[in-house]
Amino acid sequence: MSLKNTDYTIPNQTGYYSGKVRDVYFFDERMAIVVSDRISAFDHILPRAIPYKGQVLNNIAAHFLKASSDIIPNWLLATPHPNVSIGHKCEPIKLEMVVRGYMAGHAWRTYKSGERVLCGVTMPEGMKEADAFPHPIVTPATKADEGHDEDISKEDILKQGIVSSDIWAQLEKASLDLFALGTKMAKEQGLILVDTKYEFGIKDGALMLIDEIHTPDSSRYYILDGYTERQEKGERQKQLSKEFVREWLMENGFQGLDGQVMPEMPDDFLNLVTDRYIDLHDRITGIPFKKTSYDGIDENIQSAIVKYLEHE
């Protein structure tokens, strides 16, 4: 079983939005986010949902939002159900603040193609996949309502007036400070935080961290033990992230390009994805994951949201 879609009617609801993974219910000053088990890659939602993925993401995000609240205020108020987060409604900034500590993923694909500049940031010569950058770099992307997010430089962000120079400075500092905390917490659990993304909004004129942070949907992790030896030998790094799903899709002829047909995961691979998400939950939080039953889950989620909003 899994939680693929939700469409509840909740008292005093003012709006509803369904994203790639999250279903968002809006109220006057609050919003309730139901984290589904949907999984996306290459900006496409895969046909099958991943059991327990939503609970994993919600638990990890809450863990890090609570741990980072002294760096920057965040939107989260409560998690009344393992698939639900309730918090402040903010005006989102249409940027993803991507921070990269290591040469991996999109950065590596760009570098391997011969390019040395990503989002206005020059990457050093002589790097190989999984090498650490001399210091973490910020490579933003525009946040698209539909379709693909687009790489963008700081200069173009300011030129287009997406944010002011003052807000940009706050975004950059908060992103790097959050990445430093995530790096520290990952190391304590025997992991390396490779790269991640942060999203921000404005509430009452002030910057606020929104959405999830440091989850396997938004981040990539390497296993710390043996990292140096694997790098010296030119071996692939052991990682915990959604990248292995992207690799499976590419092996099966899908990269989100026109005319390509998305393959459907077989049961054995679906179960492997679930196991990997739960493994990362336990590794990064240090807390064993507890599965919540899917029996009556829609009624339980709706009831949890209503009760919280009635009694807050």
| Per-residue pLDDT tens digits for 208-254 | 999 999 988 889 999 999 999 999 999 999 987 777 888 899 999 99
Token pair belonging to 25: 């219910």
pLDDT band at 146 (very low <50, low <70, confident <90, very high): low
Mean pLDDT of 75-98: 96
CB 38 within 8 A of CB 141: no
Average pLDDT, the chain: 94
Count other Cβ atoms within 10 Å, centred on residue 256. 15
Sign of the C-alpha dihedral, residues 74, 78, 79, 85? negative
For the chain, give the percent of residues with pLDDT over 90.
Answer: 85
d(Cα 132, Cα 134) in Å, to the nearest integer?
6
Q: What's phi and psi for 110, nearest 5 deg?
A: -65, -45
pTM exceeds 0.85 = yes
d(Cα 154, Cα 282) in Å, to the nearest integer?
36
* Alpha helices for the chain (secondary structure H): 53-67, 105-112, 154-159, 165-188, 227-233, 243-251, 267-285, 297-311
Mean pLDDT of 277-297: 93
CB 62 within 8 A of CB 80: no
Q: Which pLDDT tens digit goes with each residue over 131-142?
A: 999 999 999 999
d(Cα 100, Cα 41) in Å, to the nearest integer?
19
Query: Nearest-CA neighbor of 240 among 307, 186, 287, 201?
Result: 186
pLDDT band at 43 (very low <50, low <70, confident <90, very high): confident
Sign of the C-alpha dihedral, residues 114, 119, 120, 125? negative
